[in-house]
Amino acid sequence: MAGLFNWHARKSDAAAAVAPVAAAEPSVTTSKVFPKFLATLSQKPSPVLVDVGGVVGANVAFFGERLACRLVVEDLVALVEAHAKRPGGDALSTALLKQLSALEPDSVDGVMCWDLFDYLDRATSQALASRLVKLLKKGGVLYGFFGTASAELTQYTRFIVQGPNSFRQRPYAATPTRRHVLQNRDLAKIFEGMLVTESVLLKTGTRETLFRKP
Amino acid sequence: MWKRDEAVRPPQPASSPSPGAVPETSTPRVVDASRHSHSERDTVNIGKSVIIKGELSGSEDLTIEGQIEGKIELKQNVLTIGPNARIKASVFAKTVVVQGEVHGNVTASERVEIRDSGSVDGDLSAPRVAISDGAHFRGSIDMQKGVQQGSAKPEVPKVGEKAAETRSATAPAPAVSVAAASGSSGAPVR
């Protein structure tokens, strides 16, 4: 009988250990760099902002209220995922550049890259970064995250802006990809023509970086 | 002596109404019927099997479940693009709710809403934009102050629109007009 009670106790302990994992909330990141990105854009009248991640309704509302901007959503992450599922066909860099072809050079005030570059190889990163630099106006800014450790990436992240200095990260499934780590010198090289104005290493091992086109 | 006085006879409950009497239940029935026809008149539906190529304009709320190619203009009304709808058109309305698929620019003087089943490839222009989780969107969203109010209104009102508005004010017929429509599969516009 005592053994039976012990079995129940062990079972409830195991359930308690599992429960927090099952009910894991999306993590919240506090940012020191994002407020500076916003501050730069808020000085511009009716800025044009490009988001290369998937559309997030809360972000649309946030940027609309804060900046009264024109927000261009180019879901390049979806393109990366489609390419990872079916690797044949056009090179990924060709597809990415084709998707951005509707945007004129020197027409954009801000770009939100989020963590897109973690999922790209070196050549594709180089091609995309060059294109984004061309799209930016003088004084334009680019905001992104860059992982610092090589790892197998099994999920994408949706960044949901909660306020000027914090956002929630909501992961969703991805076709496994190896992260191509970009060191500071690599970033300076692929984003040639841009200045790194802020770079903060977060506790998660991710580098949060703000570039400005001089 | 035993003849009953008819004058003091207690009134008998009427087993059947007299021919001229109006039944008590008839009034609510009439109200229900009028309500039903009123609600039918408020929103016009375009069914799943309908294909329209051309210009669609009107002055009543409209729900589309079919396919439209061209232009849709409901400048004072709500346009709902249903889950089965496939639209390749420029859309102008007061409020646009997208549950289906839209390829084209959407302009609203009040609000654009893309529900989770909705997909838009095109540019949005509205003072308020709501996009649900799971919705697909690719294009630009113009929320710049002072742009949207004017952009949703066409500069020159067309003769067809005027006629539609007048008809709606005087008669119960739906005031949605289709110009240069072709390729309909024959299903009626409900």
pLDDT digits (tens, 9 = 90+) for B109-163: 999 999 999 999 999 999 889 999 889 999 999 876 554 443 433 333 333 333 3
- Mean pLDDT of chain B, nearest integer: 70
**Cα–Cα distance, B52 to A88 (Å, whole number):** 38
CA Rg value for chain A: 20
Q: According to the model, what pLDDT value does residue B1 have?
A: 45
CB contact under 8 A, A64 and B133: no
Strand B61-64 and strand B43-46: pairing?
Answer: parallel
Closest residue of B to A99, CA-based?
B138
CA end-to-end span of chain B? 73
Cβ–Cβ < 8 Å for B98, B116:
no
Q: According to the model, what pLDDT value does residue A203 have?
A: 83
Percent of chain B with pLDDT over 90: 45
Phi first, then psi: what are they for B40, rounded to 5°?
A: -65, -35
Q: According to the model, what pLDDT value does residue B106 have?
A: 96
Helix (H, G, I), strand (E, B) or coil at B85: coil
Interface size, chain A vs chain B, as Cβ–Cβ contacts under 8 Å: 49
Helix (H, G, I), strand (E, B) or coil at B91: strand
| Closest by Cβ to B129, choosing from A64, A68, A72 | A64
CB contact under 8 A, B144 and A60: no
pTM of the model: 0.71
Instruction: Read off the pLDDT of each residue in B164-171 and give the average, rounded to a whole number.
Output: 36
Give Cβ neighbours of residue A78 (< 8 Å, ≥ 6 apart).
Answer: A54
Tokens describing residue A180: 């191509």
Going from the N-terminus, what domains does chain A have, and what CATH number goes with each?
A: 23-212 (3.40.50.150)
**Cα–Cα distance, B126 to B136 (Å, whole number):** 18
Q: Give me the residues paired with residue A111 across strands.
A: A50, A142
CB contact under 8 A, A70 and B138: no
Q: Give me the residues paired with residue B54 across strands.
A: B70
**Cα–Cα distance, B120 to B113 (Å, whole number):** 11
Tokens describing residue A166: 């914090």
**Cα–Cα distance, A187 to A211 (Å, whole number):** 10
> Which of B97, B106, B133, B145 is most worth mutating to test chain A (most A CB atoms within 10 A of its CB)?
B133
CB contact under 8 A, B131 and A60: yes
Alpha-helix residue ranges (DSSP H) falling in chain A: 2-22, 34-42, 57-67, 76-85, 92-99, 122-135, 184-190
Say whether residue B133 is in contact with chain A using an 8 A CB cutoff. Answer: yes
Quote the minimal CA–CA distance from A205 to chain B in Å: 28
pLDDT digits (tens, 9 = 90+) for B27-48: 444 434 334 444 445 678 898 9
> Which of A51, A55, A111 is most worth mutating to test chain B (most B CB atoms within 10 A of its CB)?
A55
pLDDT at A46 over 90: no
Taking contacts as CB-CB distances below 8 angstroms, the residues of chain A near B119 are none
b/e burial code for range A8-41 (CB count within 10 A of at least 16 → b) = eeeeeeeeeeeeeeeeeeeeebebebbebbbebb
Q: According to the model, what pLDDT value does residue B20 have?
A: 40
pLDDT digits (tens, 9 = 90+) for A82-98: 888 877 666 888 889 99
Question: What is the CA A60 to chain-centroid distance, rounded?
Answer: 16
pLDDT digits (tens, 9 = 90+) for A138-182: 999 999 999 888 888 888 888 999 988 888 988 888 888 888 888
Short-list B101, B56, B88, CA closest to B75: B56
Cβ–Cβ < 8 Å for B184, B69:
no
**Cα–Cα distance, A95 to B16 (Å, whole number):** 81
Quote the minimal CA–CA distance from B23 to chain A in Å: 56
CB contact under 8 A, B144 and A57: no
**Cα–Cα distance, A18 to B36 (Å, whole number):** 54
Other beta carbons less than 10 A from residue A95's beta carbon: 16
Q: According to the model, what pLDDT value does residue B178 have?
A: 61
Helix (H) or strand (E) holding A120: none
Burial (0-12, 13-18, 19+ Cβ within 10 Å), B172: exposed
pLDDT digits (tens, 9 = 90+) for B74-84: 989 999 999 99
Closest residue of A to B125, CA-based?
A70
Quote the minimal CA–CA distance from B136 to chain A in Å: 7
pLDDT at A186 over 60: yes
Taking contacts as CB-CB distances below 8 angstroms, the residues of chain B near A46 are 144-145
Cβ–Cβ < 8 Å for A116, A155:
no
Percent of chain A with pLDDT over 90: 37
Taking contacts as CB-CB distances below 8 angstroms, the residues of chain B near A63 are 143
Burial (0-12, 13-18, 19+ Cβ within 10 Å), A162: middle
Complex ipTM > 0.85: no
pLDDT digits (tens, 9 = 90+) for A5-38: 555 544 444 444 434 444 445 688 888 899 999 9
Q: According to the model, what pLDDT value does residue B158 have?
A: 37
| Closest by Cβ to A73, choosing from B130, B137, B143 | B137
Short-list A148, A119, A125, CA closest to A207: A148
